[in-house]
Structure 1
Amino acid sequence: MSPKPCGHVYVVDDNRDIRFYLTDLLRQMGHSVECFDSAKSFLAHSLDIFPAVLVLDVRMPQMSGIELQRELRALGRHIPIIFISGESHSEDIILAMKGQPIEFLLKPFQFPRLMEAIEKGLVLDGIHREQRFRKTDIHRKWTALSARERDVFVLMLDGLTNKGISERLGILPDTAKKHRANVLQKMETTDLAQLVALCKGVDVKTLG
């Protein structure tokens, strides 16, 4: 059996008792915990720790959990969210679920359900973080390509041969071959299979 993932858990809830209760239990389970009594406090003071998950109350003064969810998306922080709520209406749940949280738990919820959601969120955050790092690395290499090499790069990933690339771009096959070699060198790969593996899951059309 693989060990359960441990990580950082943010708890944002205006109820002091909930914060105290969850902090105590989560630390017993091996997680580091950071609590905030409002969404604005979280935005102002939270550190970007990895891997992490956000346990977020839906209804809070000044800024709701749903509003915080939207703000985090706008800021490019894609931390997995677990909503908790004591008195949400159906429209609250619908709005919250549009942001694709890990879970939506109604108070009083069972702690094992929360732990299951947290473990899922930590694993997901690890996967997403690795994907973002990989895309950043690919983009760094991609910026070294010339405009023509970028065209060749996309066509290589589409499976075109040197002849196919030359016909598509209106260049000589030998020129296509040279561009292809430059792409492999600058992308720090040895062959097409390695290049395809490097870019798997990344929309290369968004690199520019």
Structure 2
Amino acid sequence: MTKVGHVYLIDDDESMRLSLTRMLRELGYLVEDYASASVFLEKSVPVSPAVILLDMQMPDMTGLDLQEALLKLGRKTPIVFVSGQSHPHQIVQGLKKGALDFLFKPFNLEELLKAVADAVDFDSRQLRRVSLDVETKRDYEKLTPREREVCAWLVKGLLNKDIAVKLGTTDATIKVHKARVMEKMHAESLQTLVKKYLESDLENHPLTV
């Protein structure tokens, strides 16, 4: 069974690192293990889809400290915290800042594998969303200024004749612009166009503002 997924394992407990690394590799995951958060920050290269399996309590830098540092760097790899002893406020803080799960040592193996698989799946979906967003913005930038105006009014639900009045032109002209907008934006329906426009926040795109 081959998994497409990367696991960054960060734990100062060497025996824990070795056993988890061996087991996850046997399941097909690509595993990089680190003895400390600072070494991870210094040496790791971001890849997707991936998960960070992160010990909460470490001597040089806590799991929460690393989570904070990654947020500042804009790295969005999902985190699953693993801890032998954590205070409730640490758990709450970690989850509030976007951690996907929190496991306590000694943890149930099935629970760990589910958390890892769910996080890798989450990161895959996150990566797809980013790719689609880039694609949508690239398509939007191919529209002419007038087509972008028509696009904005279509998203607001106006009919061709209403847009024609707004832009001081004819219904037939708007039909042509609309057809070009739909083609360039790869939208087979108005619903798809609206979804793409809103999800990529095109209203606040530099070419729109």
- Check the 8 A contact 2:51/2:78 in 1, yes or no: yes
Query: How high is the TM-score relative to the length of structure 1?
Result: 0.85
Tell whether the 8 Å contact from 1:5 to 1:122 is kept in structure 2 after alignment. Answer: no
- Give the letter aligned to residue 171 of structure 1: G
Report the equivalent of 1:173.
Answer: 170
CA RMSD in angstroms comes to 2.5
Paired letter, 2:193: L
- Quote the offset at 1:47 in angstroms: 2.4
**Corresponding position of 1:80:** 78
User: Are 1:12 and 2:10 counterparts?
Assistant: yes
Q: 1:33 to 1:155 in 2, by over 3 A?
A: same
Tell me how far apart the structure 1 counterparts of residues 152 and 2 of structure 2 sit (CA, whole Å).
40
**Percentage identity across paired residues of the two chains:** 36
Query: How many residues in Structure 1 have an aligned counterpart in Structure 2?
Result: 205
Cα distance between partner residues in 2 of 1:132 and 1:45: 25
Name the CA distance, whole Å, in 2 between partners of 1:4 and 1:100: 28
Q: Unaligned stretches of 5+ in structure 1? A: none
Task: Tell me which amino acid in the other structure corresponds to 2:162.
Answer: G
- 1:190 to 1:78, Cα distance in 2 relative to 1, 3 A: same
The question of 1:33 aligning with 2:31 is answered yes
Structure 2 equivalent of residue 163 of structure 1: 161
The one of 128, 150, 160 aligned to 1:152: 150
Offset of 1:56 from its aligned partner? 0.8
Deviation (angstroms), 1:38: 1.9
What is the TM-score with the length of structure 2 in the denominator? 0.84
Q: Which residue among 123, 147, 151 is the counterpart of 1:125?
A: 123
Shift of 1:46: 1.6
**2:197–2:203 Cα contact (<8 Å) kept:** no
Aligned to 1:106: 104
Moved over 6 A (4+): none
Alpha-carbon distance between aligned partners in 1 of 2:149 and 2:159, rounded to the nearest angstrom: 13
How far has the Cα of 1:5 moved from its partner? Answer: 4.8
SS of 1:53's equivalent?
Answer: strand
Counterpart CA distance in 2 for 1:54 and 1:180 is 45
